Structure 1
């Protein structure tokens, strides 16, 4: 099959990483994935032979418009047609992230499935706090999903959409994110400069409000242990400034974005996630695959589906630094057994790729 994966860019986020893993698996299965990126920002290593088509020029004003989308839709439609004339028609099209989704649903390409990576309601709540313009822009982006075939990355997101009825999709199903555990294991064995020789905790995530670095820093300040915390994020200066504000600047190590975070994860005593909301937090599964225990907020959606059995005792309420600090101290003293982690069998890349291919069978 020839598969198009449309996305804002390949600039280093979780959705981008998920789709790159999926594309790699498609290729290994003998299929032909193509990336349709709206802009050419790239942070990940792109596998050799994986076609990446940049759909808009870097300073294209039509792409940046929030409301009048027709010119951008026309350009994108023509771009997809020209690609298909060259390589053949796409058998499956997967669209990701709001900016891309708003355009792709209007191109009338088919068969199109929109992948929902995060809680719709939590994103809307967050944007409502930014003012009416930000809220309406986000709401309009979500309303673009009406009448579409949706794939959610967790059961929690699917249930939320069905229960709130804010969006009325033509169909909806959950397909977990794919993971290449052999690759993760191999990458985790590589040497990486800068990894601390002593014990440390690790947090991985963009420096954005959703990830609640403020809660993380407050929890660090309330821990009994004085273990340092490594932050892998894109904005080290802002992160360090915030850490100093909460009096823990001396406790954090911020090397910046790492194209291979797995040696950092494997060598950590535990990984912490402090987010207000997620879709299916990739870092939790990657950490468990590396044999590193996790402590996470019980945020919508995903952690509860990942951290089952004994792992569930390390779920903490959102926005509760004291509870997070307590569980971080506990995981250092009494880590859970990772001998059997149910979620790992459910997210094998080959299994997930087959589920995506089955969308059009």
Structure 2
């Protein structure tokens, strides 16, 4: 039976973190055999997760990573160092376990699935890939809206579906990854509108393009913004006009995670742009998002600042795929292990502060 939600599911409220669990987790931290605050962000992370999971001792043993893939019409204008055929080729590589996030998911023992939302070249059916194909990529947003309303809504629902399925399997932390040649252009366009910045302030190398291609990329994005923002469209309409299938799917996933009380670990530039869109649609979602890393994409730092987010890692990564979040998962697990595994002063027979 196809996955479905009510017609107005996007308007459903976000869940509230559990303040009692948060208070009790904070009190527990004060009893552990260390000076208060000595583990810095690891302490704050454990307490925050306790509030999201509603238990004093949070766990992230069961992590689910969904990789959303789709092509972008603007890629035909030469904004990437790679041809569009790479998106479909990488879908097969993800499923076969050869991509970076595939390796990191395997290392972390995370459940991992690949969702093809619309590659330019539709691959042969593969039981390892979830087929949610909406067409051969988006339209070129410099000429027309990237998506139709049905395509946008179906992409949002595809993201929600993965969260719902992950929760059924006991997911304690959800990660959304992405793949799509040209998607940094779409993310830059959306980010520029939402942050009221010129695209040049956010644009980055993406797949590794040089200065000439970057200049073309900025010019094309400005052209798209001129076409689509004159009437001051609402956020969902901006997503339709400028976004991508995989970006919309991540927006849907994040929103449904907040509705179902599933904590999310956010990846890099594209994923954080999707988070910004989702938070603009539902501000209460912000509590459910933890940010894995700050990428080397110039615009990522600006997005993080706009979200008042403090990423766990900064390793100059700019791969996407969910790879930075998958790596940061080990930090989250360490925070939980320290919180639940360290002895208290009373248990260890160690004198506490002020004794």
Give the TM-score of the pair, scaled to structure 2: 0.33
Please identify which structure carries the higher helix content: 2
Larger relative contact order (C-alpha < 8 A, sep ≥ 6)? 2
Please identify which structure carries the higher strand content: 1
